[in-house]
Amino acid sequence: MTSKQLNFNESQDYYIAKRSSIAPIFFFGIGLISLIYFHADIYFSIWISVLIALTVVLYFLYQLKTKKVGFMMTIILAVFLLPFIHIPPYLWFDFESSPLVLWGLAVNPYMVDETVIKLTAMIGATGAAGMAFGISLVRSKIIHNTAINPDGTSHIFRSMGLEIWLFWLLFGVALSWISSPQETVFNAIYTESESLHANLNFSSAWMISYVILTFVFVDALIDPSHLRKTIKWKLVILSVAYVFIWLQLFRGDRESIPWVFSLAIIYYYWAGTFLNRKQKLKGLLSKGIILIFILLIVSLIVGMLRSGLSGLTISDAPKIIMDSFSEGQLGISNLLSGTWSASLLTPLSVAGDHIYNLLEMKYGQTYLDILLSLPPGFIADAIGYERPLTATNSLAWEMRYGIGGTHATVAPFVNFGMLGVFLIPAIWSYFLKRYELKALYRISVVNLSLLATVVMASPHWFWYGEKNGINALIIWFLFALLYRISLGLSKWFVHKNQANKNSLYSHV
């Protein structure tokens, strides 16, 4: 390499390093200005908040392109910002008008109050800036594990024995079965069909099921035995299809959609490097967008039809779907409204309550209540412990407007104001990005399962409250320990069987 080339490379490295050091300062500056303005009762114009959010999105995409951030953090940002998709139309909205419907929901007074919308948009933009600040503090690049040893041989991953693996599979499917509605949408209206665990106070059964089946899925994917892998793979695909189609979609439930999406990411992206499926980022993004669009359509159709198919047969469903399309009930515009729209009601609610001096600040009490409410409901019932947060007593019940749950910006805002809105997303973004980099460098069943668990739980975390995200991480941690124990048991069974065979041969 010539001295001229060396100087060029050095200057290029210096430019990249300098540019990466600007990002934390820039996003921290946005957070600081937002904090100062908030305490001065000055709110960003709607277009400024939209511009900040767009800047954060572009920054994440650039980080994704340069391999500074992975799909997990990108998906988290998308889920976090999705409810705020209803903010840009306010750039040309007539606040003197009196619409009956906005965001696909009945209009409330805060929806048409310009000051309230300004603060709501500012909360979303500041939270997004906090996320960007958090990931900008981690400057390492993603190094994908190719599962190749230094000597050129392939790395052999440990996996569970077939017997133990089958126990995990059946246990996961059983939990999905007891947590799904007992009747299909053809036999009963979705809201009128209860699950088998309804009286057990075991609301996390569905999440535990998906975490277990994620471990099972990844274990089947990396199994070094060709015969055992083939058996595992066929069984796990059939099980996922059974849970997703029969126990979920046919019963009007949509909780499994993010989980299925996370399994697809494992197969095509996170595990792709050691499965010899190298693909360009552009191709992966295209597949991801197509899959998201398909899942959105499925979610929309299930949401529209789960209350209107009772007493009919499956052959009637296509006609109802076509009629809904022709009547405009299942159009592109409907894709902009969904569960996330109801989630946006909660930052709107606290923004309006703050402006009209109706908001009671909690100064960390919400997070203490979350910590004290971590024991599962059935365990709390068994020992006579009364949790601060229950299905009928939580922050969601304090919202002036909402349909259950709270957006991830609400608890930080209610407890610490705009400082919390910026700082708390920055903290968890920092740690999640660090783990994502580690997980992709050290591919394992445990690490890949955590990435998938975070993606699976992200809509429940960001649209229904932090406790869902914490529950998901605790469940993953417990089953990560059990998985390591299962690996040890599998190894012990192999050695025992081998010893029995050797003993048999010695007597022949």
Q: Are 137 and 430 a contacting pair, CB within 8 Å?
A: yes
pLDDT at 18: 46
pLDDT at 315: 55
Contacts 24+ apart (CB under 8 A), 300-308: 300/330, 300/334, 300/335, 300/338, 301/330, 302/249, 302/252, 302/253, 302/254, 303/254, 303/338, 304/329, 304/330, 305/185, 305/252, 306/185, 306/189, 306/190, 306/252, 307/185, 307/189, 307/190, 307/191, 307/252
**Which structure tokens are listed for 238?**
């059939």
- Given the structure tokens 């050290």, which residue do they identify? 442
216 or 157, greater pLDDT: 216
Confidence bin at 107 (pLDDT 50/70/90) = very high
Q: Are 225 and 217 a contacting pair, CB within 8 Å?
A: no
pLDDT at 331: 54
**Residue at 221 is within a domain:** yes
- Non-local (6+) Cβ contacts of 337 within 8 A are 103, 104, 105
Q: Are 395 and 414 a contacting pair, CB within 8 Å?
A: yes
- By the 10 Å C-beta count (0-12 exposed, 13-18 middle, 19+ buried), 320 is classed as middle
pLDDT at 11: 44
The domain tally of the chain equals 1
**Residue at 493 is within a domain:** yes
Give the separation between CA 308 and CA 280, rounded to whole angstroms: 43
305 or 212, greater pLDDT: 212
245, pLDDT greater than 90: no
268 or 501, greater pLDDT: 268
Q: Which of 215-224, 310-319, 497-506 has the highest mean pLDDT?
A: 215-224
- By the 10 Å C-beta count (0-12 exposed, 13-18 middle, 19+ buried), 468 is classed as buried
506, pLDDT greater than 60: no
Confidence bin at 199 (pLDDT 50/70/90) = low
- By the 10 Å C-beta count (0-12 exposed, 13-18 middle, 19+ buried), 78 is classed as middle
- Non-local (6+) Cβ contacts of 235 within 8 A are 166, 169, 220
**Which structure tokens are listed for 507?**
């007597």
- By the 10 Å C-beta count (0-12 exposed, 13-18 middle, 19+ buried), 20 is classed as middle
Q: Is beta strand 101-102 parallel, antiparallel or unpaired with respect to 105-106?
A: antiparallel
pLDDT at 41: 93
Q: What is the DSSP letter of 413?
A: H
Share of the chain above pLDDT 70, in %: 73
Q: How many CA atoms lie within 13 A of 49 on its CB side?
A: 27
**Which structure tokens are listed for 2?**
């010539």
pLDDT at 3: 44
> Average of pLDDT values for 251-270?
83
> Average of pLDDT values for 427-436?
94
Residue 495's domain spans which residues? Answer: 162-329+471-507
497 or 82, greater pLDDT: 82
pLDDT at 244: 87
Give the separation between CA 202 and CA 374, rounded to whole angstroms: 12
**Residue at 265 is within a domain:** yes
Helices (H), 270-309: 281-305
**Residue at 246 is within a domain:** yes
**Residue at 168 is within a domain:** yes
288 or 466, greater pLDDT: 466
Least confident of 9-18, 25-34, 284-293, 402-411: 9-18
pLDDT at 1: 44
**Residue at 321 is within a domain:** yes
Chain centroid offset of residue 370 CA: 19
Give the separation between CA 470 and CA 477, rounded to whole angstroms: 11
Share of the chain above pLDDT 90, in %: 45
- For the chain, the residue count is 508
Q: What is the DSSP letter of 308?
A: T
Least confident of 52-56, 215-219, 358-362: 358-362
Confidence bin at 384 (pLDDT 50/70/90) = confident
> Average of pLDDT values for 21-39?
93
Measured between alpha carbons, how far apart are the two ends of the chain, in Å?
69
Q: What's the mean per-residue pLDDT of the chain?
A: 81
DSSP 63-108: HHHTTSS-HHHHHHHHHHHGGGGGSGGGGG--TT---SEETTEE--
User: What are 77-91's pLDDT values in tens digits?
Assistant: 999 999 999 999 999
Least confident of 1-10, 131-140, 210-219, 394-403: 1-10
**Residue at 344 is within a domain:** no
> Average of pLDDT values for 272-291?
60
pLDDT at 394: 82
Give the separation between CA 344 and CA 409, rounded to whole angstroms: 10
> Average of pLDDT values for 427-433?
95
Give the separation between CA 35 and CA 10, rounded to whole angstroms: 38
- Given the structure tokens 């595990």, which residue do they identify? 271
User: What are 46-80's pLDDT values in tens digits?
Assistant: 999 999 999 999 999 999 888 888 889 999 999 99
Give the separation between CA 331 and CA 266, rounded to whole angstroms: 31
- Non-local (6+) Cβ contacts of 212 within 8 A are 168, 171, 172, 175, 479
User: What are 137-175's pLDDT values in tens digits?
Assistant: 988 888 776 655 544 455 677 889 899 999 999 999 999
**Which structure tokens are listed for 89?**
């139309």
Q: Which of 18-22, 27-31, 461-465 has the highest mean pLDDT?
A: 27-31
User: What are 304-327's pLDDT values in tens digits?
Assistant: 555 554 445 555 555 555 655 555
pLDDT at 232: 94
